[in-house]
Structure 1
Amino acid sequence: MATAKPTPTDSLSFCLAQLTAAAGEGLGGGKDTATNETSLGRVLLALRTRHIKAAGGIERFRARGGLRPLLALLRRAAAAGPAPFQAGPGSAPSAESATSDGSAPSSGPAPSAAAPSPPARLRKTLDLALSILANCCTNGACRAEVRRLGGILPLVTILQCVKTDSIQNRTARALGNLAMEPESCGDIHSAGAVPLLVESLTASQDSDCLQSVVRALRNLADSPQHRLALSQQGAVRPLAELLAAAPDSALTLALVRALLELSRGCSRACAEQLSLGGGLSPLVSLASHPKRAVREATILILANLCAQGLVRPALGNAGGVEVLLSELQRRRGPNGTSPASQQPLVRAVCLLCREAINRARLRDAGGLELLMGLLRDPRANSWHPRVVAALVGFLYDTGALGRLQALGLVPLLAGQLCGEAGDEEEEGREAASWDFPEERTPERPEAGSFRSLRSWLISEGYAAGPGDISPDWSPERCPPPESAEPTSPSPGPTSLRTPRALPTPGRSPSTPEEPWGREGPALLLLSRFSQAPDPSGALVTSPALCGLLAYVTGAPGPPNPRALRILTRLTCNPACLEAFVRSYGAALLRAWLVLGVSPDDWPAPRARPTRRSQHRELGEMLLQNLTVQAESPFGVGALTHLLLSGSPEDRVACALTLPFICRKPSLWRRLLLDQGGLRLLLAALTRPVPHPLFFFFAADSLSCLQGLMSPTANPALPPAMPCELDPPSPCLYEPLLGPAPIPTPDLHFLLDSGLQLPAQRAASATASPFFRALLAGSFAEAQMDLVPLRGLSPSAAWPVLHHLHGCRGCGAALGPVPPPGQPLLGSEAEEALEAAGRFLLPDLEEELEEAVGRVHLGPQGGPESVGEVFRLGRPRLTAHCARWTLGPGQCPRKRASALVGLVAAAGEEAGPLTDALLAVVMGAELGGRGPSLDC
């Protein structure tokens, strides 16, 4: 088979030489125009089909200097037309680039009716030259050189002068490829290409040309400034109109990709044009497109549009709420996507909550459940502030609030008060609710809509007069009115401060007296719940109260006054009294605010804020509110019912709470003493604890009750152990131990260790009946000079010998007592106590017990020693332990820790402990003069 004969155009050097010559002569500049055009056409065709498309061909063409003559050729062609349109000052370069594959289908010549068609040969030459340049501009180095050689302005001129679809197509394709470089993108904007591309959108009917123009506009939207410039120059509306015309699938994909870029950080102009162009309904329809790329791009466009309040109602009417909600539910499902892909949809759904019409659609489509799921998801914690702020939109939707409360919103809101702030960006002014559009020019006379709104606000009592509301006010930005200090659960007259803008989470407050902060939306919703006739089921629970108290005590600055009003409102509501009792709420208020101990702060303490005096005052005020409710006829009946007819848990909680909220002796005596509340509380100490702070509450409650029973006790003095301040007495046994004992001992006691201890028979025999029978009776020991004492160590025998010889308080009893921190069970102190009982020495037993109490329950001892002392099982020591635990002036932490040790030491045998605590509380331990307990 014969090989094709080579032609001159097979050589790149030949083609470049011909291109250079043609660029120098100009189009149509030679003597034989037809010959020149035909020769140039063959050269350009060879460059495009052979050299440029070959592997590495674009780079070789650039390296051999092909771009300069090619641009010169286009520049001469552009010079034949009018000067290009210059863009206004709004087009500025940017620093962000878009990406594209750089390819677009070519199209044959199709004369446009908008302008006279150029000659066929000239049109073909331009087609080929523009095609070569567009292909070269897919290479980064070529794009940079084209910009350096000033190749952008000729392209814009050609776009303006030659209205043929094929040339418009290839010019737009070249500009789109050049726009992939940020510097070139800015130059294209400055050269005024955008209005020309927009004109091509409306003038052309060719799908390929439209795709190239749409792609060029998409690549030109590489930064917020450029996106805004495109919107302001009318680039969005023709795209929306093309989309509404139901184009072919390729053009549809190009349109949604362009609209996605233009709608990023959606500007007001973009949203207005897209809506005016009729693009909302087609976008909602395309959300179910079979092609994934179209479907996902469309959903993101709808999400971006939600940033503009003016378009959200229309978007909801078109079905956008259901589309976005269902897509977010799908992405959060078991086979869903990553949190990053959910973020724009979460933002969009939250923004849709700002208009009443969209809130109704969202509620009916299961949006409340979705938002609650987001609040429960720890992986979505960065979105929690945004979600809570969105739920504020349902503030006056009674049905939605009831549903949210049933779904568990209140504890989640309480947990949000002290959570970490999310990284969500602040919303612009144009994202505000469109239920009440902003007045753009406050200086002009008030519009009728504003006057009507203001009249309604005044008539409903939300404003005192016309001066309270400015035209810049909107209901979304004004918190609901609250009474500062409610005194009853029934709603009373409310006062409204001058309306102010509620900032988004993290923004500084607009008024110094009412800080907003990131906790503002959560507090606003909690305040709304607290204004219900009976908010106890939601707010007077341990999680809700813990959240509120953690915020009040842990806020870095002064807490929001709304949190204090919520607590005040709850404690002043009679309907909440039983809930405060059942949930240990009153005990929690006292522990956290008055005593400074929270559940996280027990048993190990942690750093606390420095505003302790303010917290104490708040706690005492709230407890006083509860006291007013408890001592009212309704409160007395409620507490009596709880104590007598409540569940076992309720009865214990009522008995524990009564000392905190009852100050009338007739009331607490009847409930705690006559009706057995105190014994219920003591019996509950050995059962499983119903609250993390139960032992702290119980110790504090018993101490408070003791103070009520003995109001004259001085709480400033710590409990003193017996004989702690008595001076030591002289020792009567030491003279027997020297080398010349006086008097001479007539008896020695032999210990198991072989140690012999001197003694006086007469003194020992008169010390106790045991030794009288042993030493002066008919036993053999009465005739022995060396009497054995079995089962007694030297340390344990030491206080016994001292006692036999008349020593009382000489300090010998302290000898066998180990220091604090060492166990008493099995110690020599226990051995000495057992010996004192065996030898019938009750005074020695008492002295040894006092010695143990002095060492382990004195200044050197601590709460951990109380259980050790109790384990000895001595009644007097048990009483000392109870008195140490409940004594006035004792540290609340030590008191509670000691009670924990006592309960652990008592085990299943709780009778002695209960009796000892009961005796201390009743005052029977102090001389037995306490009131009787008849139950």
Structure 2
Amino acid sequence: MHQWRALVAIRTQHIKGDKAGIARFRGKGGVKVLLNLLKHPECSRKVLDLALSILANCCTELETRLEVRKLEGINIVVDIMKRNVALETVQNRAARALGNLAMDPESSALIHSAGGVPLLLLCVSLSSAPSSPTVAPPSDSSPKLECAQSAARALLYLSDSPSNRLSLLTQGTLSALAPLIAPEYPPGLRRAALRTLHELTKGCGVECAREVSRSGVLSQLGVMATGESGEHFEELALKTLANVCSQGCLRPLVGSLGVIQRFTEEVKKDPLRSGVFLKALCLCCKEAVNRAKVKENGGLEVLMTFLSSHQNHPLSRFAILACVDFVFDESAMEQLQELGLVPVLVARLAKLARGEEHAAESLESFDFPPPEGFRREEAGREQGSSSFLSLRSWLLSEGLISSEGELLDSSGADAEWPPPRLPPISKLWLLPPPSPHQSSPLPASLAKVALESPPSVARSGPYHHPYHPEPWTPESPILLLLSRFSHASDPSAALVSSAVISDLLCYLTQHQDPSSRCFRMLCRLSCNPSCLQALVRTGSVALIRHRLCSNEDGSEGRQRQTDRVKTKVKQLGDALLNNLRVQCESGFGSGVLTHVMLSGSESDRMNCALSLPFITSNKSLLKKLLLDCGGLLAALKPLPQYFRLLFGCLSALSGSVKPKPVEKNPTLTPTGASPPLLKKPRLEDSSCPYGSSDFDLVLELDDATRFPANREAVAGAGSEYFRALLRGGFGEEAQCEADEAIRIKDVSAGMLLPPLHYLHGCRFGSDPETGGESGGFQKTPLGEAMVGASRFLVLDLQRELEE
């Protein structure tokens, strides 16, 4: 009786809801005394109840859990459960203590090895056993249901790793918990069971799929996912259904529950926080029956929105692989094209070629997620065997291997087992082809394989996707989709633009070994008459000539390529230009070129003119297009802009150098005519309107140099820049006082003075002796003046300076 009273005092006065009290109790050696008490088989039921309740409360603290583990308290609790199977209150408190202890991975492993799982399953099974029809269902406060809830919670924490989940599944945990989510059970128990089911289905493998199928839990989860059982169950049920989508055999049934629409809605709400639903939506695209539902419920728009907004997200590759599943669906491909899939694909292709997505694409070889059991666990944990079994089960379930023997050496020779290192996950596609009579069993030593060195995979040949005859690489799904688009009768709208062609050429010239599918796709485009006009108009011909046929590209990517690849790329460029030349020298091609030259925009005519030397050798056609249709003028029109820039740079450089005297009538040199002299600008008279203006404005440069100005003069129609600055509602500049300086950044005095003089009325004249220094033009190099006129949008001054 004294012992019982002491335990009551400890629980009510020192332990319950008080972390500091738990620490004091542990500091005075209370945990050790408590465990010694629980060891005695002669403890009364009342003492056991109280002692286990105190232990469970104390185990909410990390330090207490560590001490209980050191004192072998887990074995003590498990032994108590074995000795008192019929005592529901004792079982309840012991299950609660094990649940708190299982929050630490080390303790979870000890509970598994001590045999605690079967005892917890017994608590669950007794509460879910069918009762007599004449007996009313137990009340919410039934000791049996309370015990089941504590056991379900403990099993949740014991599902903390792939190997532990597999162990729980093989012992029938899922089937035992499935009945407890039925509506007739209390909400607390239903929620605890549902949380554990959600945890057990993570990384769903073959064993999990078997248990799900046997238990018939999917239909109940479908009802809960629709919200009919309450919103607090809806999200967990939906996530559990998303988990089981990892197994192909369960996906059609999941799709029939009407949850694909819910997956789509959840991803729409917050794509970045709905990864499990996005992955499930992508996986549901693998079966035809589910693909139709994905289309009907706006799944394609969701996938494209995610791809467009989060191109660097790790899950974006799943979205691309989901698009591959629609490759033979004409309407879906048209919809994806309209939603902008092509630019996203070619941009990603260019990044892959430049090596910018190498790390993110390390798992690209999978067209569905690898099993969670394949991930590495904490160092030193013995779970390699179960991890490999989970991987094998997953490969079998998806039809990637037909027997477990395919993961062994196909030669049949006795190989070293286990091998020293794990191959990259991306190499799992390199599985040997199945042998019709192969049925070699797994070696007995497999159970001893540590996860840090799982068995290797024999590399007898690369995997070939059913839609892609070449080895499956990170860029294969992208090229597969682009190739599918190129088979349209007129693919020019989607595939022929300067940006798309530039990225495709970047892939060919930067990738170490570009795929032949890209070669064939470009050849297909160059032979398609519907693409000729677009290739000419967008400047793609010149891009092909420069990027593929020229050997001047010294980029790092091109240097990585072997001579064989470089030769292959150059041959492709020559073939593309030859295909275009054949088209252009036909009557149809001549008509296309003439149409572009006569009715195209300025840029279209320029690109067409610059393409003509590479795609036609018909002299009469060249004469007609270049001379009669103005093609030569269109090609030369942009050049003065570059000449102006070069002229301004040279003038700026030579502004401080005194020019050498030049003859008035220079003679021609052997290489051609000498360049014309640059004459200094002149003012029309010796007066300077700028100097005699009334100043009510101050402009200040970066070096603190200040220039006065008249607000009305500079803010008039002569300069769009100053008019917007002073009258466009910019705030401080428009409302500043006369003595407040307005900062003009990144401008020199030589750039600002000529526009200021011009806006105040200074002009060029014909008298070479007038204008003097007062005009502000003589001191400024012509290049700076031109840059200033362009910067401040003084267009009239810019034209005069150019002349």
1:535 aligns with 2:488: no
Q: 1:847 to 1:403 in 2, by over 3 A?
A: closer
SS of residue in 1 equivalent to 2:40: helix
> Contact (CA 8 Å) 1:244, 1:279: kept in 2 or not?
no
What one-letter code is carried by the residue in structure 2 that aligns with 1:329? K
User: Which residues of 2 match residues 772-783 of structure 1 at below 5 A?
Assistant: none
Structure 1 counterpart of 2:254, from 303, 311, 315: 315
Q: Deviations over 1:503-528 (max 9, x none)?
A: 89xxxxx99xx454321111111111
> Contact (CA 8 Å) 2:578, 2:615: kept in 1 or not?
yes
What one-letter code is carried by the residue in structure 2 that aligns with 1:832? V
SS of residue in 2 equivalent to 1:374: helix
Q: Structure 1 residue 158: deviation in Å? A: 3.2
Tell me how far apart the structure 2 counterparts of residues 194 and 468 of structure 1 sit (CA, whole Å).
Answer: 40
Tell me how far apart the structure 2 counterparts of residues 824 and 141 of structure 1 sit (CA, whole Å).
Answer: 80
Tell me how far apart the structure 2 counterparts of residues 222 and 395 of structure 1 sit (CA, whole Å).
Answer: 39
Task: Give the aligned partner of residue 654 of structure 1.
Answer: 608
User: Which residues of 2 match residues 440-519 of structure 1 at below 5 A?
Assistant: 440=403, 501=463, 514-519=470-475
1:201 aligns with 2:135: no
Task: Give the aligned partner of residue 628 of structure 1.
Answer: 582
Q: Which moved more, 1:387-396 or 1:243-252?
A: 243-252
Q: 1:665 to 1:127 in 2, by over 3 A?
A: same
Q: Structure 1 residue 44: deviation in Å? A: 3.9
Q: Structure 1 residue 46: deviation in Å? A: 4.0
Tell me how far apart the structure 2 counterparts of residues 825 and 845 of structure 1 sit (CA, whole Å).
Answer: 27
Q: 1:293 to 1:550 in 2, by over 3 A?
A: farther
1:568 aligns with 2:523: yes
Number of equivalent positions: 581
> Contact (CA 8 Å) 1:672, 1:678: kept in 2 or not?
yes
User: Which residues of 2 match residues 255-274 of structure 1 at below 5 A?
Assistant: 255-274=193-212
Q: Structure 1 residue 188: deviation in Å? A: 0.9
Which consecutive residues of structure 2, in runs of 5 or more, have no partner in the other structure?
Answer: 129-143, 364-368, 371-390, 407-431, 438-459, 679-794
Task: Give the aligned partner of residue 362 of structure 1.
Answer: 294
Tell me how far apart the structure 2 counterparts of residues 318 and 54 of structure 1 sit (CA, whole Å).
Answer: 44
Task: Give the aligned partner of residue 448 of structure 2.
Answer: none
Q: Structure 1 residue 41: deviation in Å? A: 4.3
> Contact (CA 8 Å) 2:463, 2:471: kept in 1 or not?
no
Q: Structure 1 residue 593: deviation in Å? A: 1.7
Task: Give the aligned partner of residue 523 of structure 1.
Answer: 479
Q: 1:516 to 1:69 in 2, by over 3 A?
A: same
Q: Structure 1 residue 624: deviation in Å? A: 0.9
Task: Give the aligned partner of residue 112 of structure 2.
Answer: 189
> Contact (CA 8 Å) 1:271, 1:308: kept in 2 or not?
yes
Q: Structure 1 residue 144: deviation in Å? A: 2.8
> Contact (CA 8 Å) 2:92, 2:147: kept in 1 or not?
yes
Task: Give the aligned partner of residue 454 of structure 2.
Answer: none
> Contact (CA 8 Å) 1:374, 1:380: kept in 2 or not?
no
Task: Give the aligned partner of residue 537 of structure 2.
Answer: 582
1:134 aligns with 2:84: no
Task: Give the aligned partner of residue 389 of structure 1.
Answer: 321
Tell me how far apart the structure 2 counterparts of residues 70 and 433 of structure 1 sit (CA, whole Å).
Answer: 50
Task: Give the aligned partner of residue 423 of structure 1.
Answer: 360
Task: Calculate the TM-score normalised by the size of structure 1.
Answer: 0.55
Structure 1 counterpart of 2:662, from 832, 857, 871: 832
Tell me how far apart the structure 2 counterparts of residues 41 and 282 of structure 1 sit (CA, whole Å).
Answer: 45
1:548 aligns with 2:500: no
> Contact (CA 8 Å) 2:191, 2:233: kept in 1 or not?
yes
Tell me how far apart the structure 2 counterparts of residues 135 and 554 of structure 1 sit (CA, whole Å).
Answer: 63
Task: Calculate the TM-score normalised by the size of structure 2.
Answer: 0.64
Q: 1:342 to 1:911 in 2, by over 3 A?
A: same
Q: 1:855 to 1:305 in 2, by over 3 A?
A: farther
What one-letter code is carried by the residue in structure 1 that aligns with 2:57? N
> Contact (CA 8 Å) 1:300, 1:344: kept in 2 or not?
yes
Tell me how far apart the structure 2 counterparts of residues 439 and 374 of structure 1 sit (CA, whole Å).
Answer: 35
> Contact (CA 8 Å) 1:571, 1:626: kept in 2 or not?
yes
1:302 aligns with 2:237: no
Q: Deviations over 1:827-870 (max 9, x none)?
A: 756x635x33xxxxxxx4446996846999xxxxxxxxxxxxxx
Q: Structure 1 residue 172: deviation in Å? A: 0.8
User: Which residues of 2 match residues 80-91 of structure 1 at below 5 A?
Assistant: none
Tell me how far apart the structure 2 counterparts of residues 203 and 225 of structure 1 sit (CA, whole Å).
Answer: 26
Q: 1:441 to 1:66 in 2, by over 3 A?
A: closer
Q: 1:317 to 1:436 in 2, by over 3 A?
A: farther
User: Which residues of 2 match residues 905-924 of structure 1 at below 5 A?
Assistant: none
Q: Structure 1 residue 630: deviation in Å? A: 1.7
Task: Give the aligned partner of residue 699 of structure 1.
Answer: none
What one-letter code is carried by the residue in structure 1 that aligns with 2:523? T
Q: Which moved more, 1:227-236 or 1:127-136?
A: 127-136
Tell me how far apart the structure 1 counterparts of residues 610 and 508 of structure 2 sit (CA, whole Å).
Answer: 25
Which consecutive residues of structure 1, in runs of 5 or more, have no partner in the other structure?
Answer: 1-37, 81-120, 333-338, 444-466, 473-497, 505-509, 696-817, 837-843, 857-903, 913-935
Q: Deviations over 1:752-799 (max 9, x none)?
A: xxxxxxxxxxxxxxxxxxxxxxxxxxxxxxxxxxxxxxxxxxxxxxxx
Q: Which moved more, 1:43-52 or 1:140-149?
A: 43-52
Q: Structure 1 residue 187: deviation in Å? A: 1.4
Tell me how far apart the structure 1 counterparts of residues 33 and 656 of structure 2 sit (CA, whole Å).
Answer: 106
Task: Give the aligned partner of residue 372 of structure 1.
Answer: 304
> Contact (CA 8 Å) 1:260, 1:300: kept in 2 or not?
yes
1:638 aligns with 2:561: no
Task: Give the aligned partner of residue 53 of structure 1.
Answer: 16
1:668 aligns with 2:631: no
Structure 2 counterpart of 1:327, from 248, 263, 266: 266
User: Which residues of 2 match residues 673-712 of structure 1 at below 5 A?
Assistant: 673-683=627-637
SS of residue in 2 equivalent to 1:678: helix
Tell me how far apart the structure 1 counterparts of residues 176 and 525 of structure 2 sit (CA, whole Å).
Answer: 58
Q: Structure 1 residue 304: deviation in Å? A: 2.6
Tell me how far apart the structure 2 counterparts of residues 584 and 433 of structure 1 sit (CA, whole Å).
Answer: 50
Q: Which moved more, 1:184-193 or 1:248-257?
A: 248-257
What one-letter code is carried by the residue in structure 2 that aligns with 1:272? R
Q: Structure 1 residue 176: deviation in Å? A: 1.0
Tell me how far apart the structure 1 counterparts of residues 673 and 621 of structure 2 sit (CA, whole Å).
Answer: 41
Tell me how far apart the structure 1 counterparts of residues 150 and 197 of structure 2 sit (CA, whole Å).
Answer: 14
SS of residue in 1 equivalent to 2:350: coil
SS of residue in 1 equivalent to 2:514: coil
Tell me how far apart the structure 2 counterparts of residues 661 and 54 of structure 1 sit (CA, whole Å).
Answer: 85
Q: 1:519 to 1:54 in 2, by over 3 A?
A: closer
Task: Give the aligned partner of residue 550 of structure 2.
Answer: 595
> Contact (CA 8 Å) 1:414, 1:546: kept in 2 or not?
no
Q: Structure 1 residue 372: deviation in Å? A: 1.0
Task: Give the aligned partner of residue 179 of structure 1.
Answer: 102
> Contact (CA 8 Å) 2:324, 2:481: kept in 1 or not?
yes
Structure 1 counterpart of 2:165, from 227, 231, 235: 227
4+ runs deviating over 6 angstroms: 429-437, 467-472, 818-821, 824-827, 907-912
Q: Deviations over 1:287-342 (max 9, x none)?
A: 4559776444344333332333332222211123222211111114xxxxxx3x23
Q: Structure 1 residue 190: deviation in Å? A: 0.6
What one-letter code is carried by the residue in structure 2 that aligns with 1:398? E
Tell me how far apart the structure 1 counterparts of residues 180 and 650 of structure 2 sit (CA, whole Å).
Answer: 92
Q: 1:672 to 1:432 in 2, by over 3 A?
A: farther
What one-letter code is carried by the residue in structure 2 that aligns with 1:247? Y
Q: 1:820 to 1:388 in 2, by over 3 A?
A: same
Q: Deviations over 1:335-355 (max 9, x none)?
A: xxxx3x233333332222222
> Contact (CA 8 Å) 1:392, 1:525: kept in 2 or not?
yes
Task: Give the aligned partner of residue 446 of structure 2.
Answer: none
Structure 1 counterpart of 2:559, from 609, 612, 618: 609
Task: Give the aligned partner of residue 701 of structure 1.
Answer: none
SS of residue in 2 equivalent to 1:832: coil
Q: Structure 1 residue 194: deviation in Å? A: 1.0
What one-letter code is carried by the residue in structure 2 that aligns with 1:619? G
Q: 1:432 to 1:69 in 2, by over 3 A?
A: closer
Q: Deviations over 1:71-92 (max 9, x none)?
A: 3443333xx8xxxxxxxxxxxx
> Contact (CA 8 Å) 1:530, 1:566: kept in 2 or not?
yes
